[in-house]
Amino acid sequence: MPDRRSIAGQTRFPGVDDFWHLARRSRRWEVQAAAERLGLTREEVVHSLAAGLRDASQARSFDRSARMLARLGGDAAFEALATAARTTRRFPRLAVRALAQCPHPMVVPALLDLLGHGRISQRRAAAAALGRLRAPAAVEPLCREASRGLAGIGPEARDVLRRMGRAWQLGRLVLGAVDLATPEKVSALRALEVLRLDAERFLVREQRRFGPAAEEALSLLRAQKTLLRPSGSGGDSVLLRPASGARGASEHLVRASDDPGHAPPDRHGWVRRLCRAAGRLLANGENPP
């Protein structure tokens, strides 16, 4: 049994390999029991495994420490895994995979952050992890990446979406998510157009299944697609701001659309008149009196 007084000042201590062999095929409560069997507290094990992530020179040792941290769970283990997934350059795939296996509520936000702001290897690993988790919040960013074609992680994102399901299955996944607000659901459904999903027709068809959630999303979607009517006065000198919609909507000012009941004003009539006058001058020059 290791001496606890010497554990605090060491990055590794005798018993970690034994702990791995005892707990590698166990559930989380059995992992904690294995730590107690070796005379180690939870904090000591997390500290040692986190140090093992920093010092690991081989993929096998890094994977062992990362998987043990994921099985232990808790805030300290999550922070160690999130830090490793963000900073490691040798084993990004292993670090992100272990982070996805950690039972913590902040795992999906951490993976989304890696998907949007990580290095290319981290973004690929995060996309694959989010696909395995089937996280509804990942549908929109994955669609955004897939819409880029061959740039960035576009091919990998499209492959992850294909593995998650068909377009209508992803739509149901988003619509049934309890942790997404209605604007976020509508934004994700519109992003699924990259997979040829007609969001409006889908919501009309799913009203019987999802009830008020589908009706609210459909109302918001139609409101976002409504054209602006001309303002009462001001003409072209008046600029309007689009109605507030889903997060990320454009904030640029726009001009009011023309009223379909009236003919649009002839803004280029002076050009035609000038051309006709020039034509008459040329004709008179060629045929002098």
DSSP codes joined into one string, the chain: ---HHHHTT-SS-TTHHHHHHHHTTS-HHHHHHHHHHTT--HHHHHHHHHHHHHH--SHHHHHHHHHHHHHH-SHHHHHHHHHHHHH-SS-HHHHHHHHHHS--TTHHHHHHHHHHHS-HHHHHHHHHHHHHHT-GGGHHHHHHHHTTTTSTTHHHHHHHHHHH--HHHHHHHHHT-SSS-HHHHHHHHHHGGGGT--HHHHHHHTHHHHTHHHHHHHHHHHHHHPPPPPPSS-GGG-EEPPPP-STT-----EEPPPPTTSPPP-TTHHHHHHHHHHHHHHHHHHS--
State residue 54's pLDDT score. Answer: 81
Instruction: Write down the domain spans for the chain.
Output: 1-133, 136-226
State residue 129's pLDDT score. Answer: 92
Q: State the 10-residue block means of pLDDT for the chain, 289 residues long.
A: 37 48 52 64 77 80 83 86 89 91 91 90 91 91 88 87 90 89 91 88 89 89 71 55 50 55 58 78 64
State residue 99's pLDDT score. Answer: 92
State residue 6's pLDDT score. Answer: 33
CB 129 within 8 A of CB 111: yes
Alpha carbon distances (Å) from 156 to 3, 125, 193: 48, 10, 18
The structure tokens listed for 260 are 């379909």
Name the phi and psi angles at 165, rounded to 5: 145, 180
State residue 18's pLDDT score. Answer: 55
State residue 225's pLDDT score. Answer: 79
Spatial separation of the C-alpha atoms in residues 243 and 233, rounded to whole Å: 19
pTM of the model: 0.66
State residue 247's pLDDT score. Answer: 47
Most distant pair of Cα atoms in the chain: their distance: 121
